[in-house]
Structure 1
Amino acid sequence: MTPTSRAGGPYTGTNTNDALAPPPQRPSQDGRSYSAASIKTAKQGQSYGRSIGVPGSFGAELKSLNSRPDISRAEFTTYSGADEGDEPTTEQRQADYRDRIDKEMKIKIGTENLLEALNNKSAKQARDQRRVVELELNTSNRKIAKLRQDLNAEIQRSKDKGPEQTTSPKSRLSQLFRAAPVRSPSYQTQMQLEGPEVDLDPEVESPTYILAEKLRALELEGHPSDYYVGQANDLVELFKRHPTLKYDLAWSIFGLRMQMMLLSDSREVVAAGYRVMRYAITDRKSLQIIRALQTDFLVILSLVKESKARVEREQALKFVRAFLDVKDGAQEIHPAVARIVVAVADHADDQLRGIAILTLAEMLLKEPLLVVNSGGLGVLSDAMGSGIYFAPETLIEPFLHLMDLPARRGLLKSGFEFSSAFASFTEPFSSHSHEDKLRASARVVSSLFKSWPGLMTLALHEFLPVRSVVSALYITNTQVRTVTLDLLMDILRITPPSWSSSFIGGRRLTTYGRVTNLRNETKPSESSWKQTADEKQKRSIVQHFTAVALAVLLRQGLLGGLVHAEGSAPSQALKRRTNLLIAEVLRMTSDMLPQSWSYGVQAMPGLFELATNFNSEERFQAVATCYQVDSINRTLYRSTSGQDNPLKPAEDGSTSRARATSKSQVNA
Structure 2
Amino acid sequence: MPTSTDHDVSQATPPSNASVASSTLITSESDSASTKLPEDKLDALNVLLAREVRIKEGAEKLLNLELPEHMRLKVQTELKMATLEIATLSQKIDLEDFRTALSQAQSCIQSLSGLGHSAISPPVTSLSSGTSQSANGPDVDRNRIDLQNRLGNILRRNIRVCYELDVTELLQAVTPSLADKCSTQCRTSAYRIMRLALVNVASLEEISKQPIDWYIVRTLSRDNKHEKEKEQVIKLIRAVLDVVSENRDRRGAPGTGVVPLSEPVMRAFIAVAEHAEEPLRLICIQTLAEMVLLDIDLVARTGGIRFLLHALGEGPIELAPLLAATFLHIVDSPKTRCYLRLGTDLEIALSPFTDAYGRGPDHADRMRGSAKVIQLMLRTWSGLMYFCMDQQQAIRSIVDTLRIPSMDTREIVLDFFFDLLNIQASDWYKAFIDGRRLTMYRKSRIQPSERLLPLPTNEHTPESLKLTDQYIALLVLVFTDAGLIDALTGMLEECATSSSLSRKATLLMAEVMQIANRVLPLPTASKIQAIPRVFDLASEYGRGESRIIGTSALSQIDSFNRNRGRLQTTFINGRPRANSSEEAVRRGQRQVEQAKLKANMQMDDKTFQTSLLETQVTLTKDHTKWHFDILQELIEGPFLNPKRLEEAIKVARFMKRLLSFYHPFSRRFSDLPKNSTNQRWIRLGCSLLNTLLASPEGVRYLMTEDDLLKQIVKAFMQLMPGVHLGDIEPYFSDHKMRTTLTFGYFELLGTLSKHPDGIDLMEKAKVFTALYNLTEIRGREDIMKLVIEHLDYSLDGHSRLILSKTLTTGGLNLRRFTTRHLAGMVQSSAAPVGWMLRMLVTQLYDPLPEVCQIAVQTLEEVCDDMDTLQLVVEMQPTMDHLGPIGHPLLLKFMSTSMGFRYLYDANYIQAEMESWFHERNLEYVVQVEIFLAKVFSSDVEYSADALPFDGAVPAHFYGELSKTELGCQVLEEKGHFLEFCSSIRDHALESEDVELILKLKSILWAVGSIGATARGLSFLVEAEIIPDILKIAEQSLIPSVRGTCFFVLGLISSTPQGVDILDDCGWEATLSPLGFPTGLCVPVDLDKFISMPAWDVIEPKKDARSGLLPPISQHEVEVMTVIDNLSNTVIANAASRSLAKMKSRPEYRHVFSSPATFYRALHTISNYRYRLPVRRYILDLFTLELDASLVLELAEQAIALRAPLSSTATMPKAPVRRVVSMFGPNRGYSESDDEEDESDEETEEAVDRQPVITLRPVSRLIGFDS
Asked whether the two chains share a fold, i.e. TM above 0.5, the reply is yes
Is this contact kept in 2: 1:387–1:437, CA < 8 A? Answer: no
From 360, 381, 392, the equivalent of 1:463 is: 392
Measured in 2, the distance between the counterparts of 1:593 and 1:397 equals 29
* 1:375 Cα deviation after fit: 2.5
From 453, 469, 476, the equivalent of 1:550 is: 476
Q: Which amino acid aligns with 2:442?
A: G
Q: Name the counterpart of 2:514.
A: 587
Measured in 2, the distance between the counterparts of 1:598 and 1:111 equals 77
The answer to whether 1:282 aligns with 2:199 is: yes
Measured in 2, the distance between the counterparts of 1:376 and 1:437 equals 23
* 1:368 Cα deviation after fit: 2.0
From 403, 411, 416, the equivalent of 1:482 is: 411
Measured in 2, the distance between the counterparts of 1:256 and 1:481 equals 62
Change (3 A) 1:444 1:641: closer
Q: Name the counterpart of 2:749.
A: none
Change (3 A) 1:394 1:56: farther
Select the structure with the greater relative contact order (CA < 8 A; seq sep ≥ 6).
2
String of CA shifts for 1:145-173, please: whole Å, max 9, x gaps: xxxxxxxxxxxxxxxxxxxxxxxxxxxxx
Is this contact kept in 1: 2:108–2:147, CA < 8 A? Answer: no
Measured in 2, the distance between the counterparts of 1:439 and 1:518 equals 31
* 1:207 Cα deviation after fit: 6.4
* 1:290 Cα deviation after fit: 1.8
* 1:480 Cα deviation after fit: 1.7
Q: Name the counterpart of 1:409.
A: 337
* 1:541 Cα deviation after fit: 2.1
From 416, 419, 434, the equivalent of 2:347 is: 419
* 1:306 Cα deviation after fit: 3.8
Measured in 2, the distance between the counterparts of 1:653 and 1:399 equals 51
The answer to whether 1:272 aligns with 2:167 is: no
State how 1:259-408 maps to structure 2 within 5 Å: 259-265=175-181, 266-326=183-243, 327-328=246-247, 331-408=259-336
* 1:468 Cα deviation after fit: 0.9
Is this contact kept in 1: 2:178–2:187, CA < 8 A? Answer: yes
Q: Which amino acid aligns with 2:174?
A: M
Q: Which amino acid aligns with 2:175?
A: Q
Q: Which amino acid aligns with 1:563?
A: T
Q: Name the counterpart of 2:12.
A: none
Is this contact kept in 1: 2:493–2:546, CA < 8 A? Answer: no
Measured in 2, the distance between the counterparts of 1:280 and 1:530 equals 60
Change (3 A) 1:207 1:637: same
Measured in 1, the distance between the counterparts of 2:45 and 2:466 equals 70
Give the alignment's TM-score, normalised by structure 1.
Answer: 0.64
Is this contact kept in 1: 2:443–2:567, CA < 8 A? Answer: no
The answer to whether 1:212 aligns with 2:76 is: no
Q: Name the counterpart of 1:37.
A: none
Measured in 2, the distance between the counterparts of 1:408 and 1:104 equals 54
Q: Name the counterpart of 2:536.
A: 609
Q: Name the counterpart of 2:172.
A: 256
* 1:275 Cα deviation after fit: 2.1
String of CA shifts for 1:532-561, please: whole Å, max 9, x gaps: 35252x122221111111100000100111
* 1:418 Cα deviation after fit: 1.3
Q: Name the counterpart of 1:117.
A: 91
Is this contact kept in 1: 2:167–2:197, CA < 8 A? Answer: no
Q: Name the counterpart of 1:223.
A: 138
The answer to whether 1:444 aligns with 2:373 is: yes
SS in 1 for 2:442: coil
Q: Which amino acid aligns with 1:251?
A: V
Most deviating of 478-487 and 402-411: 402-411
Change (3 A) 1:111 1:621: closer
Change (3 A) 1:503 1:339: same
Q: Which amino acid aligns with 2:107?
A: A
Change (3 A) 1:651 1:517: farther
State how 1:6-45 maps to structure 2 within 5 Å: none
Measured in 2, the distance between the counterparts of 1:270 and 1:355 equals 21
Q: Name the counterpart of 2:549.
A: 621
Q: Which amino acid aligns with 1:364?
A: V
Measured in 1, the distance between the counterparts of 2:529 and 2:484 equals 13
Change (3 A) 1:338 1:404: same
Measured in 2, the distance between the counterparts of 1:301 and 1:518 equals 65
Q: Which amino acid aligns with 1:597?
A: T
* 1:70 Cα deviation after fit: 12
Give aligned pairs, total.
Answer: 486
Measured in 2, the distance between the counterparts of 1:359 and 1:630 equals 53
Measured in 2, the distance between the counterparts of 1:384 and 1:645 equals 50
Is this contact kept in 1: 2:109–2:170, CA < 8 A? Answer: no
Measured in 1, the distance between the counterparts of 2:165 and 2:142 equals 25
Change (3 A) 1:104 1:421: closer
From 227, 243, 248, the equivalent of 2:159 is: 243
Q: Name the counterpart of 2:526.
A: 599
Measured in 2, the distance between the counterparts of 1:471 and 1:222 equals 68
Q: Which amino acid aligns with 2:405?
A: T
SS in 2 for 1:531: coil
Is this contact kept in 1: 2:317–2:366, CA < 8 A? Answer: no
Change (3 A) 1:434 1:516: closer
* 1:348 Cα deviation after fit: 4.4
Measured in 2, the distance between the counterparts of 1:107 and 1:550 equals 71
Q: Name the counterpart of 1:539.
A: 465
Measured in 2, the distance between the counterparts of 1:589 and 1:287 equals 56
Identity of counterpart residues, as a percentage?
A: 27
Change (3 A) 1:560 1:300: same
The answer to whether 1:493 aligns with 2:409 is: no
Is this contact kept in 1: 2:488–2:509, CA < 8 A? Answer: yes
Give the alignment's TM-score, normalised by structure 2.
Answer: 0.35
Q: Name the counterpart of 1:574.
A: 501
Is this contact kept in 1: 2:113–2:172, CA < 8 A? Answer: no
Measured in 1, the distance between the counterparts of 2:93 and 2:534 equals 78
Q: Name the counterpart of 1:197.
A: none
Measured in 2, the distance between the counterparts of 1:353 and 1:518 equals 48
Change (3 A) 1:622 1:106: closer
Q: Runs of 5+ in structure 1 lacking a partner?
A: 1-28, 31-51, 72-100, 121-125, 135-205, 521-527, 659-668
Is this contact kept in 2: 1:239–1:245, CA < 8 A? Answer: yes
Is this contact kept in 2: 1:492–1:546, CA < 8 A? Answer: yes
Measured in 2, the distance between the counterparts of 1:227 and 1:529 equals 75
Change (3 A) 1:419 1:252: closer
String of CA shifts for 1:575-601, please: whole Å, max 9, x gaps: 332222111101001111122222222
* 1:228 Cα deviation after fit: 4.7
SS in 2 for 1:545: helix
SS in 2 for 1:366: coil
Change (3 A) 1:314 1:506: farther
Measured in 2, the distance between the counterparts of 1:360 and 1:403 equals 17
Is this contact kept in 1: 2:431–2:438, CA < 8 A? Answer: no
Is this contact kept in 2: 1:384–1:421, CA < 8 A? Answer: yes
Larger Rg: 1
* 1:236 Cα deviation after fit: 3.6
Change (3 A) 1:555 1:226: farther
Is this contact kept in 2: 1:517–1:653, CA < 8 A? Answer: no
String of CA shifts for 1:317-369, please: whole Å, max 9, x gaps: 22111111112485322233223323333344444332222111101112222
Measured in 2, the distance between the counterparts of 1:54 and 1:226 equals 43
Q: Which amino acid aligns with 2:557?
A: V
Most deviating of 437-446 and 107-116: 107-116
Is this contact kept in 2: 1:55–1:111, CA < 8 A? Answer: no
